[in-house]
Amino acid sequence: MMSKKIPFYQADAPVVILVRPQMAENIGMVARAMMNCTLSELRLVRPRESQLCDKAVAASSGAQTILENAKVYDTLDEALADVRFALATTARPRDMTKPVYHPEAAMKLCQEHLGRGEKVAILFGAERTGLENEELIPADGIIEIPLNPKHCSLNLSQAVLLIGYSWFRLTRDWDNTHLATGGSMPATKQELNAFLEHLENELDERGYFYLPAKRERMQRNLRNIFTRAGLTGAEIKTLHGVVIDLTRPISQK
């Protein structure tokens, strides 16, 4: 599982730069997606609507601090002034020579540059038009989000979310699987075997294993079923109770 020590946001993370965003709601949703992924620094180049208007704040769904701390610039060059490494997102291949990275590789590269103390930024274009060719020029590379080529249009905040998720995914260590046991440990083999013997004894007394030639196989099948279930100690206790009650005549109830 994730470490519990994840901070509210990361200081050494890429800056998100939105170039000419059109809709306040999208700016808000970008802030929300950023906070989902522990990104915190937002810069806006000539936004049509303010990042602090009601629509933006409502759409940010609790990520208002990112909007409050966002800086607004007149030009992309100004927004990039202190940035040493910038990647631009675009779905469309352009007629220019730039290295193109998928999000995972792009975020690894950003991490390397951040590790050398560089300011790193990721550029996102306007909702409909994306980044213009001249806006791609200052970028050191392109991030292409691989999606269905017949339907690859993404909402601005969804593009930020996918990039942010790749970032978060890269910067966190976690096990890929863990068993949620509600606090209960997995049963010991001894506990499991005690239950299986309980079950088999009750079945045996009722003639379940009446064909000696098949006994071993039937037993193995049963044991496989309950072994595969990955039972906890608490569940073993539940099953003991089930067998006890099943073997009780109805009249006694």
Question: What's the rounded Cα separation, in Å, for the pair 198 and 200?
Answer: 6
Question: Which of 97, 190, 251, 252 contacts a second copy by CB under 8 A?
Answer: 97
Question: Which of 117, 182, 212, 249 contacts a second copy by CB under 8 A?
Answer: 182
Cα-Cα-Cα-Cα dihedral sign, residues 189, 191, 196, 197: positive
CB 11, min distance to a second copy, A? 14
Q: Does 23 bind a second copy (CB under 8 A)?
A: no
Select from 62, 59, 24 the least CA-distant residue to 44: 24
Select from 196, 200, 198, 204 the least CA-distant residue to 229: 196
> Would you give the binding string for a second copy spanning residues 117-156, x where CB under 8 A is met?
-------------------------x---xxxxxxxxxx-
Select from 197, 177, 183 the least CA-distant residue to 232: 183
Cβ closest to a second copy, residue 174 vs residue 210: 174
Would you state the structure tokens that stand for residue 187, as one six-digit string? 């049963």
Write the secondary structure of 12-49 as one string of H (helix), E (strand) and C (coil): CCCEEEEECCCCHHHHHHHHHHHHHCCCCCEEEECCCC
CB 219, min distance to a second copy, A? 25
Q: Does 116 bind a second copy (CB under 8 A)?
A: no
CB 79, min distance to a second copy, A? 24
CA distance readout (Å), 224 to 50, 100, 218, 230: 62, 50, 10, 10
Positions in 184-243 near a second copy (CB under 8 A): 184, 230-232, 235
Cβ closest to a second copy, residue 114 vs residue 159: 159
Would you state the structure tokens that stand for residue 54, as one six-digit string? 């009601």
Binding residues for a second copy, rule: CB under 8 A, are: 2, 4, 6, 8-9, 29, 32-33, 35-38, 61-63, 93-102, 104-105, 142, 146-155, 157-158, 161-162, 165, 168-169, 172, 174, 176-184, 230-232, 235
